[in-house]
Amino acid sequence: MSERKVLNKYFPPDFDPSLIPRRRGPKNSQQVVRLMAPFSMRCNTCGEYIYKGKKFNARKETVDGEDYYGIKIFRFYIKCTLCSAEITFKTDPKNTDYTAEHGASRNFEPWREEKVVEEEDRLARLEEEENNPMKVLENRTVDAKREMDILDALQDIRARNARNERVGQSVDLVARLTVEEVETEEERERRLAEEEDEKLVREVFMKVPMPGPSGSSSAAGDSENSPGDATSPPLITIKRKADDVEPDLRNLLPESTRIALDTKSLGAPPAKKPKSDLKNKLGIKIAKKSKLAV
């Protein structure tokens, strides 16, 4: 079975394309094309507005006797969506646009009018300068003066912008320096406050060596003989009120510690606690092993 979509056709060796009869249609036949309205327009018959982009099934034909530097101009026929009146418009290769021809008027577009007015002024000026050399000189003088004014205004704007930029930079610099000065003063005040706090803490809290018993003098003498066995006395921190007389260290110690220090200084050994017989309290009797006769 042959393929449904055939890409390559078979041509026999004796095929002669010149023998194929050519179909001759009318010289200016119309084609049905699908297009969108190229501009907003209003129907002259019923006043219906047709917006840009509205889709139509239009008929296209080539305009006889009109072209723009060899570019063909086409005419399109559409029908109004309300009254079915025929509307025609043509291509405009000169302005790369479309022009309404019959049955509708194009909506007002101010930017198009400005372009048209500028083009008309330019053509009128060229036509006026063509046969009047004095007018050419006057126009050149006016153009030169206008250019000088534009350059002066541009130079003023540049100078103003540069001046504003310099002023802005100086203002930023002054603000930055002010902020740095404020931060420096704050840091100085903070440092002074911290030094005062540390000084007050050193005055309130003070580390002193803990006093030992009376035999510490002999121990100190022994330690002088044997420096390797010497141990530094422990340091304790005492707290006292600022601007007050320093209290005695012994008065700051608890009562039990003072009694222990007094006992050690007298040389009496501390009382030993009697060992409690746990076996008797728990009611446990241990049987003694009898000695074996030898």
Query: At residue 2, what is the residue type?
Result: S
Take residue 292 and report the two structure tokens written for it: 């074996």
Instruction: Name the nearest CA neighbour of 30 among 7, 55, 2, 57.
Output: 57
Which whole number is the average pLDDT over 191-200? 84
Which whole number is the average pLDDT over 31-56? 94
Residue 293 has pLDDT above 70, yes or no: no
HSE, side-chain direction, 13 A CA sphere, residue 173: 6
Share of the chain above pLDDT 90, in %: 29
- Give tens-digit pLDDT for 203-262: 766 665 555 554 444 444 444 444 444 455 566 665 555 555 566 667 767 777 778 877
What's residue 218's pLDDT? 45
Which whole number is the average pLDDT over 29-57? 93
What's residue 32's pLDDT? 94
**Residues 34, 64: contact at Cβ < 8 Å?**
no
84: left (phi over 0), alpha (psi -120 to 50) or beta: left
What's residue 48's pLDDT? 93
Residue 22 has pLDDT above 80, yes or no: yes
Residue 56 has pLDDT above 80, yes or no: yes
Residue 83 has pLDDT above 50, yes or no: yes
Alpha-carbon distance of 74 to 101, in angstroms, equals 12
Model's pTM, two decimal places?
A: 0.39
Which whole number is the average pLDDT over 271-289? 63
DSSP 37: -
Altogether, the residues listed in the chain come to a count of: 294
Instruction: Name the nearest CA neighbour of 50 among 91, 86, 14, 12.
Output: 86
Q: Mean pLDDT score of the chain, rounded to an integer? A: 78
Higher pLDDT, 39 or 223: 39
What's residue 237's pLDDT? 61
Residue 197 has pLDDT above 60, yes or no: yes
- Give tens-digit pLDDT for 98-149: 999 999 999 988 777 777 788 888 888 888 888 888 888 888 898 899 999 9
Take residue 46 and report the two structure tokens written for it: 């019923």
Take residue 225 and report the two structure tokens written for it: 């003989």
What's residue 220's pLDDT? 44
Per DSSP, what are the bridge partners of residue 97?
A: 92
Residue 79 has pLDDT above 50, yes or no: yes
Query: At residue 8, what is the residue type?
Result: N
What's residue 230's pLDDT? 46
**Residues 215, 264: contact at Cβ < 8 Å?**
yes
Alpha-carbon distance of 78 to 95, in angstroms, equals 22
**Residues 46, 82: contact at Cβ < 8 Å?**
yes
What's residue 129's pLDDT? 82
